[in-house]
Amino acid sequence: MLDFSGGSRPPFSRLPSDGTRGRAGRDAGAGSSGGATESRDPAARGGAGSGPEAGAGGGEEAPWLQRLVALRPPLLPALAVAAAALALAAGAARVLWRGGMLFPDGTPGWSFAVLTGCVVAHLVTMSRDRWWSGTGSGPALTLAVLLLYGWVPALLVSLAVVVLVGGARRHRWRQAFVHGAIDILGIAAAGLALALCGVHPSVEDPWQPDDWSPAAGAVIPLAAAGYLLTTRGLQWFCFAPRTRGLPSALRTAVVRQGLIAVALLGIAPLIVVVAVHKSPLLPLFAVPLIALDSTLRIARARAEEQLRDPLTGLPNRLWLLERAWAALDEAERTAERAALVLIDLDRFRSVNDTLGHLAGDRLLLQIADRLRAALPRGAEAARLGGDEFAVLLPVADSTTSAQRIARGLVSALSSPLDLDGLTLVLEASAGVAVFPEHATEAEGLLRRADVAMYEAKRDRTAVEVYEATRDGNTPDRLGLLADLRRALDAGEVELHYQPKVGFDGTVSGLEALVRWVHPERGRVPPDEFIAIAETSGLMPRLTEYVLETALAQVAVWRRDGLTVPVAVNVSPRDVHSPGFAGAVAARLARHGVPPGALQLEITEHVLLEDPQQAADTLAGLTGHGVKMSLDDFGTGYSSLVHLRRLPVSELKIDRSFVARLAVDTEDAEIVRCTVDLAHSLGLLVVAEGVEDDETWERLRDLGCDAVQGWLVAAAMPPGETTAWLRAREIPADRSLPSPPPARTP
């Protein structure tokens, strides 16, 4: 007998709509904000597997099992109802045709009726129990009637429960109808198992305990197995969501069904014995049957806790992966897109450190409520742990629409929060990954969304869509990382130098640009391998290599009478490394190069993560006499604010503003304002990406101090750079000749 009182979907498919919050426990990984850390390594986050066979429980399922649990015959519920109706009609007709009784009369009949009524009343009061777990009371009573009187009376007991419980819950009639049909088929399967063993009980000729032989020890387990396998199998294939993997909910359900099987084998025969010898005592079995249901209910609640975050009441990571598998399967079947949005609160750790973990938990509750309220129709939210949340979009029209939804969610979470009269603003960063463009399995989609979220947090852009070129953890890029490490050790990475030239013909400096020719792939774009170095922890090693090589070359040029300064790019990670300023000063001294011959190019991103550490490092560098240049000006988060805080002597206008200077009046105005601002602060201005004569002329008219680009010269190897510098040694009273033709990089 099935428990059809809660719904036709497994518990993990109902979690998002449940607003209850369990505060009983605090798990360091998911339940407590106090245990949250600010780990920002995409490879270290998530903890999920990357292969399509990686199930939610961590093990690999056999392919045949994956295909089996994914089957969802569309007409199966209707076929089950039709088959149950035929079985019920055939059984009743067979009994009536023989002139037999459908149900026992007298004291045994009334005793079973009272016991059935107790079970029905108990099921009605189980307001939120779900079919997924089943109950022990119904199957034990049904199997006892089956063993004693045959499968037709057992069908009537099941039918009575369906009618009575369904009548008490009128809004669940359709669901009760299907579950009742499944139960009838389970009883029929158990009756068939008895018949195969030569046991044919009926109301007129019960299967008395005195008739039981040692072979009965195998008959009863066989009947119980037939009932459980038939009912639970039909429940799964009729109602469970489509999924590739074997969900943890099914694994835990198997354990609970084992408890039910024990109850069937232990209680059902006892009911038979009491019915034969002391039938008036049958209603007393309501007590152990209800106790059995309570035990199963506790086991079910604990299983659901494994899928729910105890603090916010949102589903957790395990649920997300299982639900994502089902969503991706459905999207693949319908040729649609699905998306996953990973959201992380910025600087939430400071809230815990300042206000305490209890205040942090209360803020997370408000964040969870806002996330629920901001979800678009069909979307489902989960808390992955700490201050990290995820939103599953089972259907996404496009990557752009998924990104737009992510921006709306971030905006909703970033509005002011009230905590005991204290107004707080917690900004959020989100990463978006889309199926099938970015990944074809749930774990891969989660990892790629995490990579995109990390980029959004680092670049302060709020929302980023996954880009493979920025992911340093793909197999191809991991191989490239290993090759880059070997190339640095072998000295196979080269430096080319691009001049910066003033409008009066003077060479104001050179910029050292790293170049790498892979033995198999050929020339690797700098943006690609530098991004790999930045996300892998290899960047300090690359910066050390570039500084060492550039200073060695400067020393050679100075011995040859060429005293042009050289600029080297450094990353925010370099600036945040303790001792970086001292290491640069030591290298200058070792090569005998004066500090003024070295210029370090930084971006304003150095102030975003740890402003104090960055300020200390930059102050140390300028204190040693090293000049600083602000690169890519105008593309950052808050350029004017940062410009006041950075000890730079030079400002480089990004090529994106220079490229259309001659044809776009807005870009021209931006360049003019930038030049005026820099000059008012005593800074020199260099324009990057100058490629034509007209741009050269416009920059000169706007008051720019120097230019850099292909029109002057492309980046050249050291030998060509030396020859180029020698050719530029012209008398100071001569005007600058016409710019040389553009070079092919």
Bigger pLDDT: 567 or 252?
A: 567
Give the full edge-to-edge strand order of the sheet including 388-396: 380-385, 388-396, 337-345, 428-435, 463-465
**Amino acid 321: pLDDT:** 83
Here the CATH number for the domain that contains residue 362 is 3.30.70.270
DSSP state of 469: G
Q: Is residue 50 part of a domain?
A: no
Q: Say whether both 288 and 330 belong to one domain.
A: no
3-state SS class at 598: strand
Q: Say whether both 412 and 280 belong to one domain.
A: no
Q: List beta partners, residue 345.
A: 428
Burial level of 438, CB count in 10 A (0-12/13-18/19+)?
Answer: buried
Bigger pLDDT: 138 or 328?
A: 328
* Residues constituting the chain: 745
pLDDT, mean of residues 51-60: 37
Domain closes at, from 237, 272, 306: 306
Contact 154, 145 (CB under 8 A): yes
Bigger pLDDT: 65 or 604?
A: 604
Q: Say whether both 463 and 487 belong to one domain.
A: no
Residue 332: which domain range? 317-473
Q: List beta partners, residue 592.
A: none
Position of tokens 């008739």?
Answer: 211
For the chain, count helices (H), then strands (E): 25, 16
Q: Say whether both 243 and 157 belong to one domain.
A: yes
**Amino acid 97: pLDDT:** 79
**Amino acid 509: pLDDT:** 92
Q: Say whether both 658 and 570 belong to one domain.
A: yes
Bigger pLDDT: 201 or 348?
A: 201
pLDDT, mean of residues 288-297: 75
Q: Is residue 712 part of a domain?
A: yes
**Amino acid 338: pLDDT:** 92
Mean pLDDT computed over every residue of the chain: 76
pLDDT in tens, 421-439: 777 777 889 999 999 888 8
Name the band, by pLDDT with cuts 50, 70 and 90, for residue 17.
very low
Bigger pLDDT: 282 or 590?
A: 590
Q: List beta partners, residue 568.
A: 512, 600
Query: What is the Rg, in whole angstroms, of the alpha carbon atoms belonging to the chain?
Result: 37
**Amino acid 231: pLDDT:** 81
Distance (Å, whole) CA 380 – CA 409? 12
**Amino acid 266: pLDDT:** 75
Q: Quick one: what percent of the chain has pLDDT higher than 70?
A: 74
> Is the pLDDT assigned to residue 482 strictly greater than 70?
yes
Q: Say whether both 350 and 302 belong to one domain.
A: no
**Amino acid 131: pLDDT:** 36
Q: Say whether both 459 and 482 belong to one domain.
A: no
Q: Which of 4-13, 274-283, 712-721 has the highest mean pLDDT?
A: 712-721
> Is the pLDDT assigned to residue 1 strictly greater than 60?
no
Lowest mean per-residue pLDDT among 67-71, 148-152, 560-564:
67-71
CA end-to-end span of the chain, whole Å? 78
Lowest mean per-residue pLDDT among 43-47, 233-237, 616-620:
43-47
392 contacts: CB under 8 Å, gap ≥ 6:
320, 323, 324, 327, 338, 339, 340, 341, 379, 380, 381, 382
**Amino acid 480: pLDDT:** 80
> Is the pLDDT assigned to residue 554 strictly greater than 90?
yes
Q: Is the pTM of this model over 0.75?
A: no
Lowest mean per-residue pLDDT among 5-14, 336-345, 395-404:
5-14
Contact 49, 443 (CB under 8 A): yes
- Closest alpha carbon to 187 in 442, 343, 1, 43: 1
Q: Say whether both 529 and 666 belong to one domain.
A: yes
Q: Say whether both 193 and 237 belong to one domain.
A: yes
What domain count does the chain have? Answer: 3
pLDDT in tens, 500-531: 999 888 898 999 999 999 888 889 888 878 87
Q: Which of 149-163, 303-317, 396-410, 467-481 has the highest mean pLDDT?
A: 396-410
pLDDT, mean of residues 230-240: 75
Distance (Å, whole) CA 597 – CA 563? 8
Here the CATH number for the domain that contains residue 581 is 3.20.20.450
